[in-house]
Amino acid sequence: MLMQGTEELAAAAAAGRALAAFSVYNLETTQAVVAAAERTGLPILIQAGSSAFAHAGRAPLAHIALEAATAASVPIGVHLDHCRDLEEIDASLALGYTSVMFDGSKLPFAENVAQTRAAVERAHAAGAWAEGELGGVPGDEDTSEAALAAAMTDPEEAARFVAETGVDVLAVAVGNVHGLAAGHPTRIDLDRLTEVAEACPVPLVLHGASGVDRDVLRAAAATGVVKFNVNTELRRAFFDALDRDLAADRDGYALARLLGSARADVADVAAEIAALLAGRPAEGSA
């Protein structure tokens, strides 16, 4: 069923748990995320985002995600991630997206506020909720190259940003990076995260959750993070499955078997992460 409104986010925030938001690129990764939601019985967000449109096309990927979410037996939202274009937000909302993110983190504060506020107004008019971002989260959400943490989100500035934009959730920078940082572990500043959570009247979002210590993820959820973006761990599971099975399927060119195996492995990883963020073990995951 399609997740509408912010009820699931509010329930997670009240319980000190969080929703997993998984980036998808094609049919198989979308099906894997839905399978994880079905297996665990947990609400999940499919992130069919701006960067993936270059590969799959906006309308085709959106239709795959929305149809899969609607057919599911558990609440699944379809989220536009890392969008910097208000016209793309309009188009995604028209297709039926349940939430959108305007990423103005690279803009001056005043311009970020103005652009994000415009995105919020569009989302709310369409019955969707909106995410903004304040503070730089370095790296590329579509690769796993090394990145170092950038300037962290200032608590007072975050409170002002929320008040002036009306965002429903706020993505923050507290040491998190996109991808898997090579040579050094991702270090989340839980003290800074607590300060931002106490200053902000809305729940927080943490991008770059892949590779973060599981205990730290739990602590962040208890602190006030209600949505964790996960991308690299799913892509790694997909690639690992292809590496493992490609030689065996080469002679017969068994594409469906090859993709099906990768899809199953991605679903296992997604189920484990979703259950972790909900505060319980995954059921039936590998």
CATH number of the domain where residue 146 is located: 3.20.20.70
pLDDT in the model for residue 144? 47
pLDDT in the model for residue 147? 43
Q: Is residue 244 part of a domain?
A: no
pLDDT in the model for residue 135? 78
Q: What is the total residue count of the chain?
A: 286
Q: Is residue 285 part of a domain?
A: no
Q: Averaged in consecutive runs of 10 residues, what is the pLDDT profile of the chain (286 residues)?
A: 94 94 97 98 95 91 98 98 96 98 94 98 98 72 48 92 98 76 66 95 90 88 94 95 87 88 98 93 48
Determine if the pTM surpasses 0.75: yes
Q: Is residue 101 part of a domain?
A: yes
pLDDT in the model for residue 266? 98
Count of domains forming the chain: 1
pLDDT in the model for residue 281? 61
Residue 73 sits in which domain range? Answer: 7-234+266-278
Radius of gyration of the chain (CA): 18
Q: Is residue 193 part of a domain?
A: yes
Q: Is residue 241 part of a domain?
A: no
pLDDT in the model for residue 179? 55
81 tagged catalytic: yes
- Report the DSSP pairing between strands 129-134 and 99-102: parallel
Q: Are 84 and 138 in contact (CB under 8 A)?
A: no
Annotated catalytic residue, options 81, 103, 265, 268: 81
Q: Is residue 192 part of a domain?
A: yes
How buried is residue 51: exposed, middle or buried, by Cβ count under 10 Å (0-12/13-18/19+)?
A: middle
How buried is residue 73: exposed, middle or buried, by Cβ count under 10 Å (0-12/13-18/19+)?
A: exposed
Q: Is residue 93 part of a domain?
A: yes
Q: Is residue 171 part of a domain?
A: yes
